[in-house]
Amino acid sequence: MLRKKSIYRKPLVIIASVVILLLLNVLVVNNPIFATRVADFGEKTEQVSEMTAQETDLQQAEEAATATAAVAASQTEPGLEEVSKKVNTLDKRLTAIEEANTVKKVHKEESNGDQTIQDRLKTGLRNFWLLTGFRNCKMGNIIMILVGILFIFLAIRFEFEPMLLIPIGTGIICGNIPFFQGMGITLDDALAFVNSADPDLWKYSFNQETAKELLTAIFQDSEGKRLVLSDALKQLENIQLPEGIATNDLETVKSFLGSAFASGETNLQTGLYQEGSVLNYLYFGVTKGIYPPLIFLGIGAMTDFSSLIANPKLMILGAAAQLGVFLTFIGALYLGFNLKEAGAIGIIGGADGPTAIFLSSRLANGLNGTRNLIGPIAIAAYSYMALVPVIQPPIIRLLTSKKERMIKMAAPRMVNKTEKIMFPIVGLILTTFISPTALPLLGMLFFGNIIKESGVVKRLQNTASNPLIDIVTIILGLTVGASTQASVFLTSSSIKIFALGAASFCVATAGGLLGAKLMNVFLKEKINPMIGAAGVSAVPDSARVVEVEGQKYDPSNHLLMHAMAPNVSGVIGSAVAAGVMMSFLMM
């Protein structure tokens, strides 16, 4: 037996094979000519059957005519006996013909029954082909499936936040499995819908003529083609709205398009955005902001605030790292996002996925004149959280000197139990008085910490810090990944959000570092400025990065406990920043 390692055990070969098969599917199998060839043989068989039936009917008609002529002739011939014999003979022949016709009729009915089964089989095969992923696959699906595979690869090969990237990567693949969304409608069908509407019952904020202009603009690059609702919604970002439609009327426009395209939609209850599907029910917790507070409950039950209590001035570094949030907010406005969308995008700089989801579910949920940006914002936030070990080290080296990176800090003081219990209570009251809109996040965070530090409800602590947060993480990652359906996700807005997210994360890291250097100007006992990079709320990855970078220059320099102080204060700071954003923008 050969011991040579098979090339099929190499993941790159497997991935390349899958890509080639999918490309062949898009280029060859989805060709309309290929689809029409399937029924050619069946159609030719039907033509032959019809010709045979017609010939049989002609023969029967000729026999019947011959028999009738014979009877008529017999009546004119002399001799009754001879006539009687001929009549009997003709009767027998007519009876034989009738029996033959009956047998043929039975055979014909059986043949018709067989043909019906063939028709049903052919229709079933056509429906099966219509619903397969091979028939409905598009290039966007292939791109997103490859992205999902990349996420899983990074999680397994490099261990970049595997508890997040594996569910998200799997969700991306599930959300981009192509399925049949409906036959769609043409421009004529859409215009007919508008023309058939009663002007007295027209319920939209724009008139029917404006609606026709909108539909014409949507179908501008798709004349003669059929579009489904997701195609129309995607086109909204690429067209200029008619004069009769204001920017804050997007919710009304989407409602109108939903009604106009309803006749061309088929709800198989499969996709995340299809009402009644399992993923749609699970996604409810994302759109309504249910999962993020539960995540914060688990974080609170696992977090030790001792380092922050021992050295509270380090909380300033967590606040300094929120600089990225507000600078990204300005950048999003510059790129054309409205106020609420820009506020939701800006929070990516806090490097806190649950906070980003919570804020986007409030500000950029597709309502009140906004686009639904929950998916792109969540994916961007979690992606940059996973890439903390890649993004932060170069920025740390760029903004700090070797001498600064070798600064040693004294061990933090011991914190007693009373301080640990009082901190979450005081923190809950103080932060929520400043930003009441952040109560769902901060309330659950400090509640989880009270459970932990009380020491009398171990079962509740274990439930919140293990099974509960694990279950919510699985569901949250899967549904956020599935929300990246290619027809919704692959837009220019998503690209802008990812670019802004990268810039936001870099600025937040730089803000923490510069804040630490500024503090050293006024402090007698210097702090290592690298711990400022942990001011982003990627707990505990940022603190680990600081620990690793410190030990590269001095193996005896342990910064993890010091870095945890700005790290946990970054969690609080990002939630407060989200509350401030909501206070300014929700009203």
Please tell me the number of Cα atoms within 13 Å of 461 on its side-chain side. Answer: 15
What is the pLDDT at residue 306? 92
Q: Which long-range contacts (CB under 8 A, 24 or more apart) does 468-471 make?
A: 468/294, 468/297, 468/298, 469/294, 469/295, 469/297, 469/298, 469/299, 469/301, 469/302
Could you tell me the CA-to-CA distances from 11 to 142, 156, 161, 525, 541 in Å, in that order? 17, 12, 21, 52, 28
C-alpha dihedral sign at 264, 265, 268, 270: positive
What is the pLDDT at residue 123? 84
What is the pLDDT at residue 44? 44
What is the pLDDT at residue 112? 55
SS3 65: helix
DSSP 8-state class, residue 372: B
Find the DSSP H helices in 132-196. Answer: 133-136, 139-157, 162-175, 187-196
Find the DSSP H helices in 439-540. Answer: 439-454, 458-463, 469-482, 486-489, 492-522
Which residues of the chain fall short of a pLDDT of 70?
1-115, 246-248, 587
DSSP 8-state class, residue 29: I
| Residue 19 to residue 17: CA distance in whole angstroms | 5
User: What mean pLDDT value characterizes the chain?
Assistant: 82
Which residue type is seen at 382?
Answer: Y
What is the pLDDT at residue 83? 53
C-alpha dihedral sign at 234, 239, 243, 246: positive
What is the pLDDT at residue 170? 96
Could you tell me the CA-to-CA distances from 182 to 3, 262, 264, 270 in Å, in that order? 51, 9, 6, 12
CB 536 within 8 A of CB 570: yes
What is the pLDDT at residue 437? 92
What is the pLDDT at residue 217? 87
C-alpha dihedral sign at 492, 496, 502, 505: negative
